[in-house]
Amino acid sequence: MNKLPLIAAAAALLSLAACENKPEEVSSISPDPMKTELANRAPVVLPPSISASKQMRCGDNSLVFVDFFQGDTQVQVRTAKDGAGTILKAPAAGEPYVAEGGYKLTGTPKSATVVTPNEGTRTCKA
């Protein structure tokens, strides 16, 4: 009588040994329909970072806030500290920065000549 439980246990172990012990993978994620389009897209180019942010005092005792960007081809000019800025761009480093509407800036983060439509030409220093 003692052999029957032993034979049953051996049979159960043999049947379990034949099973693979891998978990079943279940996924609710469907294939990405834009996978090929995204793979063939041009790489993303990040905007330049700010290299210097200066508050400049002008000859007429007014203030101009200028952010100089890496690459020396772009600046942002604001006439009020929390005001909206205007992006000025230069064709190459060292050339004047210009924007539509009569904006122009020549100079460096230490001193610059700023032309704005409302205030005209001003010489400013940081």
Residue 11 in domain: no
How many domains does the chain fold into? Answer: 1
Residue 6 in domain: no
Residue 115 in domain: yes
The enclosing domain of 103 has a CATH number of 2.40.128
Count of all residues that appear for the chain in the document: 126
Count of C-beta atoms within a 10 Å radius of residue 102: 11
The series of mean pLDDT values per 10 residues for the chain, 126 residues long, is 71 68 78 88 90 94 94 93 92 92 93 90 93
Residue 55 in domain: yes
Residue 18 in domain: no
Residue 89 in domain: yes
Residue 44 in domain: no
Residue 91 in domain: yes
Residue 57 domain boundaries: 50-125
Backbone angles phi, psi at 5, to 5 degrees: -65, -35
pLDDT (tens digit per residue) in 10-27: 777 666 666 667 787 777
This prediction's pTM: 0.65
The pLDDT of residue 14 is 67
The pLDDT of residue 18 is 63
Q: Which helix or strand (DSSP H or E) is residue 107 part of?
A: strand 103-107
Q: How far is CA 126 from CA 34, 39, 65, 112, in A?
A: 49, 46, 9, 9
Alpha carbon dihedral 106, 112, 117, 121, in 10-degree steps, equals -100
The pLDDT of residue 55 is 95
Burial level of 65, CB count in 10 A (0-12/13-18/19+)?
A: middle
